[in-house]
Structures are given as C-alpha cells and as structure tokens.
Chain A
C-alpha cells in the first residue's frame, strides 16, 4: 500500500490512457521508427562521403577549367557585345542535372527563370531548353508548349568537352531562330555558397553588330561562324563544370545536415524508447504487486 504512493508512473504525452496493451504497441512503434531512422542515417552518411569525394574531384577540374571559361568569355566582354532584349525571339537554357537531394541548386535555377519571364517585354516568344531531368520535370510541367528539347544523362559522370560539344551542336541545329539567348547556371563560390547567374548566348547577328567588333582584324563570315560555334561549346563546358561543382558541394552539405538531424532524432527517440520501456516494466510491477497485495 505504501508502495503505491512512492511509484511515479511517467507516461509519455502521446499515450492517452495508461493501459499496458497500448504501451506495448507504442514501444514497438518507437523501436521500428528508431531502426528506420538509423538506416536513414547510414544512407545519408555514405551519400555525404561519396559526394565529398566527387566534390573534391569536381573542384580540382573546375580550377583547371576556370581560366578556359574566363578566356572564352573575354572576347564578348572586350568587344562589348550586348543583346537587345526587345527582339522577339528568346531562348532560355536551364543547366541542371538528373539527380536530386542536393539542396536548392535546381529549384533556384527554375525560380530565376520563372521570375525573369514576366519581366520580358510583351510579345516576346520564349522557348526553353532543359539540360537535366530536374529542369525538364519542373519546367515541363509549367511551360509544356515552350520546351524545345531536353538533355538527359547529366550528373552521373563528370562533364567532358564532348558533352558540351553535343549540346552546342543541338542548340545551333535547332530550327528555332532565336535573337536573344540566355543560359542559367550556378557559379560555384565556396562549399556553402553558389550563385545563380545568366550567361548570354550570342547569335551571329549580335556578334557582327557588336560594339567593338569592327576593331578586330581579318574577321570574315567563315571565321566568325567557326569561332562562335567553338566558343559556344567552350562556354557550355564551363557552365557544366561550374554547375557540377556547385551541385556536389550542395549535396555534401545537404547530406551532412541530414545525417546530423537523423542523429538528433535517434537521440530523442532512444530516450523516448527507454522511458517507455521503463514505464512498461513499472506497470507490470504495479500489477504484480497489486495482485499480490489483493491476495493477501
């Protein structure tokens, strides 16, 4: 009898009444949840290590590719070639990849495109090209009629110049005659930071009309066309490298915080499980004791 007063049954908030049967079910549910979260933690930890290795490689290659990309852009900057936004046909290229779980890299690109479209002058005819399944999925749902083509199989292997060459070839071959071209991609700044940027894709006309192009010697149609095709491939290659590096670093960060969150959840669930286990034992004791006391 005196035992009753000393026993303090700590029931978890989620449990309504204090029936032993209900406790057993909750105990099993908690242990199943605990096992599931532990598995998830293992998976996210391994994904983090894999993407850390891929990020190290991507960053190394990006460091080598950066002078190449900056060099490719310098002609357009020095010749002060600008695109006239008021022309009617616009082409937007979205550079993403096939795989998710990498933070907000893909959704930032799509968001930037979605924000830019209403700002264009009325009457512009905008078409989209999606590189990567993620852009195709989201943009395809929103602008199904405006999607010209999409590229898949991006993101599994690090990008090589051949891939960029194929993309450039298709863009140049496509029947849509665009006047203004823009490519949205992510520029890698650091492990935690990246920036969504727009790179112009210049047409032959924009280049020949450009600011200081007349200063350049021995420029004829043939040379200009070959030059533009090669520099388009180079710029796409550069954008692919930057995007890949940003994606890997964001995936590493995302998986790292997922692992940490899973760890916290495991701690909390373990405490809950132990408290519940002790409550069940206490209840069994109470019943035994009260049964024994009743027999006396």
Chain B
C-alpha cells in the first residue's frame, strides 16, 4: 500500500521538478550582445565576447560587459576582440561609431573594416607616400584636410601592419 502511495506521488514530483528546471536562464550578469558590422559584411552579430579594445577620438578604451553607456567615434586603428574561448581577433577599421547601451549591448559600426592579415604591406607604403605627396600639393583647405585624414589613416595602417 505504501509503495502504491509513493508511486502515485512520483509523477507529480517529477512534473514539479521539470517545471523548475525548464525556467530558461535569462542572460546572466556578465553577458554582452556585441554587433560589429560594416556596410558590406558582418563580423559579429549579437555575439557574446569577453572584451573589446577600441581606438576612438576620445581615447582608446576597452569595453567589458556592463560598461557604462557611451557613444564614441572610431579613429583609424585596430579593434581587438577577446572572445569567450580566449582567442584574440584583430580588425582594422577606418572610421565609424561605437555605441554601448544601458542593457550591455555594444554596436560597433565601421565604414570599412577588415582583418589585419588582409592588409598588404606594400600597398600601405605606396598609399602613404602618395598621401604625403597629396598633402604637399594640396591647394584648398578641404583638399588639405582630406590629405591630412588620409595621412593619419595610412599611419594607423602602417602601425597595424608592423605590429602584426
């Protein structure tokens, strides 16, 4: 008789246990949804990474989960993404914007981005010399500013290629 009673309780117990166990774990405290995209390609879409190092005009900084919300403008340079499994991936970006929202989502939108090993050292050197010539021969303010921007970009490219 007692066996029957225990057997009768069993299904109800298991049902309660299943209900408790099936409560979906919400995003834990230390997660971030990281989106890194350029107009032509997507590198990360709502991915969960450990840290992102970002070069910006207001200084280089690293973004960890639950960073204070901020917006910043990207400087030409290298973004380092520290992934969950310990790998570090480096990408060169030309310009763009960084947004950290209050729900720990991070969006990095780059106008042009590529992995550092896609950079061609010779092409970078040629481009840098040409930009220097443009700067010298620039006549109007706008042309001078454009050449200056190109120079800074090529310097950053050179640094990225050299440190690879």
Q: Which residues of A contact B (CB under 8 A)?
A: 61, 64-65, 67-68, 70-72, 74-75, 78-79, 160-161, 212, 215-219, 223-224, 226-227, 230-231, 234, 237
Contacts and interface: CB of A to CB of B under 8 A. Distances in A.
Contact of B109 (A61, A79, A216, A230): A230
Contacts of A212: 69, 102
Given A78-B103, A231-B97, A67 B71 contact: no
Contacts of B97: 226-227, 230-231, 234
A68 B38 contact: yes
B145 interface: no
Given A68-B39, A75-B107, 9 more contacts: A67-B42, A68-B42, A70-B35, A74-B99, A74-B101, A74-B107, A78-B105, A216-B71, A226-B57
A219 B73 contact: no
A219 B97 CA distance: 13
A72 B107 contact: yes
B70 A160 contact: no
Interface in B18-73: 35, 37-42, 45-46, 57-58, 68-73
Contacts of A65: 39-40
B95 interface: yes
Interface of B: 35, 37-42, 45-46, 57-58, 68-73, 95-97, 99, 101-103, 105, 107-109, 111
A64 B72 contact: no
A216 B41 CA distance: 28
Nearest 7 CB-CB pairings of A with B = A71-B107, A68-B37, A78-B101, A217-B70, A161-B39, A67-B45, A226-B73
A74 B68 contact: no
Nearest to B95: A230
A223 B109 contact: no
B46 to A, nearest CB: 8
A66 to B, nearest CB: 8
A160 B39 contact: yes
B159 to A, nearest CB: 22
28 contacts: A65-B40, A67-B37, A67-B42, A67-B46, A68-B38, A71-B37, A71-B109, A74-B107, A78-B101, A78-B105, A79-B101, A160-B39, A216-B69, A216-B70, A216-B71, A217-B70, A218-B70, A218-B72, A219-B71, A223-B57, A223-B58, A223-B71, A223-B73, A227-B71, A230-B95, A231-B97, A231-B109, A234-B39
B101 A75 contact: yes
B35 A67 contact: yes
Contact of A224 (B57, B71, B109): B71
A75 B37 contact: no
**Highest count of chain B CB atoms <10 Å: which of A71, A160, A161:** A71
B76 to A, nearest CB: 14
Contacts of A231: 97, 109
